[in-house]
Amino acid sequence: MSNMHVTAKVNGDEVEFLCDPRETLLDVLRDRLNLTGTKEGCGTGDCGACTVTIDDRLVCSCLMLGVEASGKSVGTIEGMAEGDILHPLQKKFVEHAALQCGICTPGILVAAKNLLEKNPDPNEEEIRYWLAGNLCRCTGYDKIIRAVQDAAKEMREAS
Amino acid sequence: MNYHTPSSFSDASAIAASAKGKTRFLAGGTDVLVQMRSDIITPDDLIDIKQIQGVKDITKNKDGSWTLGIAVTGAEMSEHAEFKKAWPGLVEATDLIGSTQIQGRATIVGNLCNGSPAADSVPAQIAAGATVSIIGPTGERIMAVEDIPTGPSKTSLVHGELISAINVPARGENAGDAYLRFIPRTEMDIAVVGCGVSLRLDNGTITEARVALGAVAPKVLLVDECSKALIGTKLDETALKKLRQAAENACNPINDKRGTIEFRTEVAGVLAVRTAKKAYNRAQGK
């Protein structure tokens, strides 16, 4: 089958792309829209590195076809900072050294931001369960959890 | 690969029925896309059934029963307070599947049609007495959930048929359900044994019982002998002993890296007891 024409919103902007119906949303984001912040880890929905939001719900972009994004609102890591101003989560990840190689980081940030939008004051257990689908082989997770807690605190105080 | 987005189940069925090559239906995609990526299946026709009207709806019918659309995700079930209150066991079983990301896409109809003996939501669906509406080339029919899986990755759906809705009975009074599974870790794993139980009580005596076991046979089992062990009792020690024995007797598991035959059999008995106690407490409003 020939390429299909898809219209969607990505980080608030209207985008159009052509893609083969077999292409995953992850492939579309990286190879057609040049949004390479979203990473491919396992490609089978186990590691969470490719996490994005679809209509404000977390999904693995490797487990969704590009054509399925038609009419949807996609949120990626590129939509997180405002210009040069980092999101509080991004800032706290740097401060707490909550990343090393960085492959899992975009997915974890997107997932953590989604959690804090639903629950501004999650406890440690809630954060760990929410992020259970985001694997990190470098940090041992503790720094990630502390960074999310610290960012949540800062965001609560700011609001 | 042809990608279809039919606007009705009869259209979806017609596309599948006339397809010459391999066909797959796409709802949440958390199994199909993994299978496509690992070259287990390369569909010639992929039929996305999410654009059919009503597939995202959780509907409470006039008689108190529920109709779940085929594209309702695990997350949407967990967030539906009234449905969760009515069928907490079915919701907790579904919630155990995968990560937050998987919950955002995965559906219980997909969990059923994937045909895994270890599918977490299926013992809970069976215990609940759920049925599925099926549309196919010869018309519509309704089947009990326990009659859908026929073996690993196999279902009783025929060429051109697909499930159009899942029907969950009215919960009614003095009743409760529960689901427990054993996995070697705390999250994100496949059941070594899973058990779903639904009970109804009359002054503490069990009048209705359905017990289903997962991952201990080629398909999820509805175990009548377990129901018999419970009905007419107040879940006393004798009843629990009989329940445990009946659950063990029903097992016909495999040996694999997750658990041996002996281990799965013993755990099935233990889980049946624990799940029955949990369902019993819920039926008493505890």
Residue recorded with tokens 């399925």? A68
Contact B34 A51 (CB under 8 A): no
**B86 within domain boundaries:** no
Q: Compute the average pLDDT of residues B30-55.
A: 96
- Chain B residues closer than 8 Å to A48 by CB: 99, 101
Specify the higher pLDDT residue, A113 or B188: A113
Interface residues on A facing B, Cβ-Cβ cutoff 8 A: 1, 4, 21-22, 24, 43-45, 48, 51, 54, 57-60, 62-65, 67-68, 111, 129-134
Contact B3 A54 (CB under 8 A): no
Q: What is the 3-class SS of A8-74, one letter each residue?
A: EEECCEEEEEEECCCCEHHHHHHHHCCCCCCCCCCCCCCCCCCEEEECCEEEEHHHCEHHHHCCCEE
- Chain B residues closer than 8 Å to A59 by CB: 101, 104-105
Q: What CATH number is given to the structural domain containing B238?
A: 3.30.390.50
Label residue B280 by pLDDT band (50, 70, 90).
Answer: very high
pLDDT, tens digit, 9 for 90 and up, residues A106-141: 999 999 999 999 999 999 999 999 999 999 999 999
3 state SS of B34: helix
State the DSSP code for B204: T
| Concatenated DSSP letters of B131-176 | EEEEEETTEEEEEEGGGSEEETTEESPPTT-EEEEEEE----SSEE
How many structural domains is chain B composed of? 2
Contact B48 A68 (CB under 8 A): yes
The domain boundary residue, chosen from B31, B49, B67: B49
Helix (H) or strand (E) holding B45: strand B45-48
3 state SS of B2: strand
**Which bin fits B98, alpha (ψ -120 to 50), beta or left (φ > 0)?**
left
Amino acid at A119: N
- Chain A residues closer than 8 Å to B37 by CB: 24, 43-44, 62
**B152 within domain boundaries:** no
Among the partner residues B37, B48, B99, nearest to A133 by beta-carbon distance: B99
Angle at A64 between CA B187 and CA B29, to 5 degrees: 65
Q: Which two tokens stand for residue A35?
A: 């949004």
Whether the complex's predicted ipTM is more than 0.90 is answered with: yes
Residue range of the domain that includes B213: 175-283
- Chain A residues closer than 8 Å to B30 by CB: 45, 63
Q: Is B189 on the interface with A (CB under 8 A)?
A: no
- Chain B residues closer than 8 Å to A1 by CB: 1-3
Contact A64 B33 (CB under 8 A): yes
Average pLDDT, chain B: 97
Contact A58 B3 (CB under 8 A): no
**B225 within domain boundaries:** yes
Q: What percent of chain B has pLDDT over 70?
A: 100
Residue of B nearest to A55 (CA): B104
A135: closest CA of chain B, how far (Å)? 11
**B44 within domain boundaries:** yes
Which is nearest to B49 in space by CA: B74, B78, B24, B22?
B24
Q: Which two tokens stand for residue B153?
A: 């990755």
Count CB atoms within 10 A of the CB of residue B49: 25
Contact A4 B3 (CB under 8 A): yes
Helix, strand, coil percent values for chain A (each to nearest 5) = 40, 20, 40
Give φ, ψ of B97 to 5 degrees: -80, 115
Alpha-carbon dihedral angle through residues B206, B171, B119, B211, given to the nearest 10 degrees: 10
Among B101, B103, B190, the residue to mutate for chain A (most A Cβ within 10 A):
B101
**Cα–Cα distance, B278 to B286 (Å, whole number):** 9
Q: Is B40 on the interface with A (CB under 8 A)?
A: no
Contact A63 B188 (CB under 8 A): no
User: Do the Cβ atoms of B134 and B125 come closer than 8 Å?
Assistant: no
| Concatenated DSSP letters of B90-118 | HHHHHHTSS-HHHHTT-BHHHHHHTT-TT
Contact B30 A129 (CB under 8 A): no
Domain architecture of chain A: domains with CATH: 4-79 (3.10.20.30), 88-158 (1.10.150.120)
Contact B2 A21 (CB under 8 A): yes
**B168 within domain boundaries:** no
> Computed from CA positions of residues A70, A72, A76, A82, in that sequence, does the dihedral angle turn out positive or negative?
positive
**B160 within domain boundaries:** no
Helix (H) or strand (E) holding A7: strand A4-10
pLDDT, tens digit, 9 for 90 and up, residues B125-165: 999 999 999 999 999 999 999 999 999 999 999 999 999 99
- Inter-chain Cβ pairs, chain A and chain B, closer than 8 A: 76
**Cα–Cα distance, A63 to A51 (Å, whole number):** 10
Q: What percent of chain B has pLDDT over 90?
A: 97
The reported pLDDT for the residue numbered A2 is: 83
The pTM of this model reads 0.96
| Residue-wise burial string across B226-258, b where 16 or more C-beta atoms lie within 10 A, e elsewhere | bbebbeebebeeebbebbbebbbebbebeeeeb
Amino acid at A125: E
**B210 within domain boundaries:** yes
Contact A54 B100 (CB under 8 A): no
Among the partner residues B48, B50, B187, nearest to A129 by beta-carbon distance: B187
**B187 within domain boundaries:** yes
Count CB atoms within 10 A of the CB of residue B22: 12
B75: closest CA of chain A, how far (Å)? 9
The reported pLDDT for the residue numbered A1 is: 59
Among B72, B99, B189, the residue to mutate for chain A (most A Cβ within 10 A):
B99
**Tens of pLDDT, residue by residue, chain A (159 residues):** 589 999 999 999 999 999 999 999 999 999 999 999 999 999 999 999 999 999 999 999 999 999 999 999 999 999 999 999 999 999 999 999 999 999 999 999 999 999 999 999 999 999 999 999 999 999 999 999 999 999 999 999 998
Q: What CATH number is given to the structural domain containing B11?
A: 3.30.43.10
